[in-house]
Chain A
Amino acid sequence: EAAVTQSPRSKVAVTGGKVTLSCHQTNNHDYMYWYRQDTGHGLRLIHYSYVADSTEKGDIPDGYKASRPSQENFSLILELASLSQTAVYFCASSVGTGGRVFFGKGTRLTVV
């Protein structure tokens, strides 16, 4: 089974602080994604990448940066964390064709 590993699994951050969420996949997939899930809402795409050293904006990129230093690793960076960024964040990967998406277990971020 394909594997996507997120770290940390939970984090409490201070408003205005910097937060980095990490994701590692061993699937050899081209595509990697960062999604945000808020209580009562569905998955919303923040950033994605289809090749190392390149990232693309998703539907809600404001306040977030992404980094894909290698095919296996994809980070989400909150330079100045805000209360509104409290959510569960999911990393995922997929092959370009065929499209099955494999998700990590999620990171629960609480900004205080």
Chain B
Amino acid sequence: GDSVTQTEGLVTLTEGLPVMLNCTYQTIYSNPFLFWYVHYLNESPRLLLKSSTDNKRTEHQGFHATLHKSSSSFHLQKSSAQLSDSALYYCAALGNTDKVVFGTGTRLQVSP
């Protein structure tokens, strides 16, 4: 079945440094949708980004990601981390099964 891998469980950064959270996926479907969800403490997870077409960058709230089918990746990036970015980030994929599959999540901690 489809799967999503997030290799980092925890990423710690100093405010102002760039953010990159890794996400790779596996699916037999040739046109998957990839997503990033953000989960702030004591809130519900919510959609942050959804992929567009291959090699096209998607942006929202200062974050961006690009679907690269050649490497099965959809890494989340931001040029400058803010304290308010501290949260749990999930990468998710929708392949051929119509069931969204989530990665295990990466906790981003931004310090002053």
- Which residues does A use to contact B, with CB under 8 Å? 31, 33, 35, 41-43, 45, 48, 50, 90, 94, 96-101, 103-106
Given A43-B105, A45-B102; A106-B44 close (CB under 8 Å): yes
- Tell me the smallest distance from the CB of A45 to a CB of chain B, in Å: 7
Interface status of B35 (Cβ within 8 A of chain A): yes
Given A42-B104, A50-B98, A94-B100; A101-B47 close (CB under 8 Å): yes
Select one of B44, B100, B103 contacting A105, CB under 8 A.
Answer: B44
Q: State A50–B100 Cα separation when bound (angstroms).
A: 11
Interface status of B37 (Cβ within 8 A of chain A): yes
A35 — which chain B residues lie within 8 A by C-beta?
102
The residues in B between 1 and 51 inclusive whose CB is less than 8 angstroms from any CB of A are: 6, 33, 35, 37, 43-47, 50
Interface status of B88 (Cβ within 8 A of chain A): yes
A98 — which chain B residues lie within 8 A by C-beta?
33, 94
B98 — which chain A residues lie within 8 A by C-beta?
31, 50, 96-97, 99
Are A103 and B102 in touch, CB under 8 angstroms?
Answer: no
